[in-house]
Amino acid sequence: MTTSSSPSLLVADDVADAIASGRAVVALETTIVVHGLPTPVNLEVAAECEAVVRAAGAVPATIGVVQGVLNIGMTPAVLERLADPGHHAAKLSARDLGLAVATHADGATTVAGTIAAAHTAGISVMATGGLGGVHRGAQVTYDESADLTALSRTPVLVVASGVKSILDIGATLERLDSLGVAVAGYRTSRFPGFYRSDSGFDLDWRVESPEVAAAAFAAHRLWSRAGFLLANPVDEERQLDARTHDDALSAALAHAQNAGASGKDVTPAVLAEFARHTAGASVRVNRDLVVANAALAARIAVALASLGS
């Protein structure tokens, strides 16, 4: 059951109730489901994320645009329809939401699109796999994910396994610094590398518990309008081994370039080739880290709710 708050917005009843009573809610994105993971793993991961969020005592709010209506919380049937390749759902960053609504489009939200919608609805925690960032060669292409600028103006805590290893990680960390986004490692002093638990870059801050992460975010919000990136590394035993990772990375980057991928097609093209090159091993790691991030985000949302924040 869902309640229509306006003709272009549909907030699921359980999400609306939780927000109204100050209980924990975790926003989940849909780009990872529609454009990031292959079928049928994509829908399985989405269901697992919702399940681990509920198990931790929070309410999941999966966000996307369905026939021009921004859905905050959606049923598995609606998500399945959105993910159906026949529907050609668009990839929606924050700037695309108004256009998708006005043109009655179907679209999956990126981290940028998801936090814009979540914040407006009163949700302040989200989980994803890897945040978007500065692409390699951005000095020439200017390809820097709008996830970074969205985080710079949206006070939402995002749990991610760092940024995707296909990116220029050092440049991305510099941009997060310039943009005023708080960054901390969860039980690590090293920035995670998505498929690998350690990207090789140091972090200034680490937190050891969901309670401290929640307290840090609550304090951060007192004087900053920027977001907060909590970097949660994939389990070391579950990461992709270094050799497989590095081989797949060069192959995937070369493939995307030869295929002429540009703009919003770059990330999906590289991830798909990564999966092909590793015979699905990268998909298993991606699945593990996304589900772990959803579980951690839920514990932080619960801690934040108990702070009355």
Q: Which of 175, 220, 264, 299 binds ligand PSU (CB under 6 A)?
A: 264
Q: Does 129 bind ligand PSU (CB under 6 A)?
A: yes
Q: Does 233 bind ligand PSU (CB under 6 A)?
A: no
What are the angstrom distances between the C-alpha of 196 and each of 52, 200, 300? 22, 10, 23
With CB under 5 to 8 Å by kind, the binding choice for 290 among Mn ion, ligand PSU, none is ligand PSU
- 5 or 141: whose CB is closer to Mn ion? 141
Q: Does 162 bind ligand PSU (CB under 6 A)?
A: no
What are the angstrom distances between the C-alpha of 31 and each of 38, 130, 131? 12, 12, 12
Site for Mn ion in 141-160 (CB under 5 A): 143
Q: Which long-range contacts (CB under 8 A, 24 or more apart) does 256-263 make?
A: 262/141, 262/143, 263/143
First to last CA, the chain: 27
- 96 or 143: whose CB is closer to Mn ion? 143
Q: Which of 11, 29, 72, 283 binds ligand PSU (CB under 6 A)?
A: 29
Closest separation between CB of residue 141 and Mn ion, Å? 9
Q: Which of 130, 162, 193, 210 binds ligand PSU (CB under 6 A)?
A: 130
Q: Which of 91, 164, 264, 273 is catalytic?
A: 164
Q: Does 154 bind ligand PSU (CB under 6 A)?
A: no
Q: Does 288 bind Mn ion (CB under 5 A)?
A: no
Task: Establish whether 29 is a catalytic residue.
Answer: yes
Q: What angle do CA 269, 254, 147 make, to 5 degrees?
A: 45
With CB under 5 to 8 Å by kind, the binding choice for 29 among ligand PSU, Mn ion, none is ligand PSU
Contacting range for Mn ion; rule: CB under 5 A; set: 12-20, 34-42, 138-146, 162-170: 138-146
Closest separation between CB of residue 172 and ligand PSU, Å? 11
Count of residues near ligand PSU by CB under 6 A: 18
Residue 33 carries which DSSP code?
I
For 175-202, b/e burial (b = at least 16 CB within 10 A) is: bbeeeebbbbbbebebbbbbbbbbbeee
- Strand 206-207 and strand 157-160: the pairing is unpaired
For 20-39, b/e burial (b = at least 16 CB within 10 A) is: eeebbbbbbbbbbbbbbbee
Q: Does 124 bind ligand PSU (CB under 6 A)?
A: no
Q: What angle do CA 70, 72, 76 make, to 5 degrees?
A: 105
Residues in the chain: 309
Q: Does 168 bind Mn ion (CB under 5 A)?
A: no
Looking at 57-202, list the stretches that DSSP marks H as alpha helix, in order from N- to C-terminal side: 76-83, 97-102, 111-121, 138-141, 146-153, 169-178
Q: Does 106 bind Mn ion (CB under 5 A)?
A: no
Taking the C-alpha atoms of residue 156 and residue 300, their distance in angstroms, rounded to an integer, is 12
Task: Establish whether 264 is a catalytic residue.
Answer: no
Q: Does 165 bind ligand PSU (CB under 6 A)?
A: no
Closest separation between CB of residue 91 and ligand PSU, Å? 7
Question: What six digits make up the tokens of 187?
Answer: 């039980």
User: Which residue carries 């998909």 as its tokens?
Assistant: 283
Which spans of this chain sit near ligand PSU (rule: CB under 6 A)?
29, 31-32, 35-36, 110-111, 128-130, 132, 145, 147, 264, 267, 271, 286, 290
Point out the residues that are catalytic: 29, 164
Which spans of this chain sit near Mn ion (rule: CB under 5 A)?
143
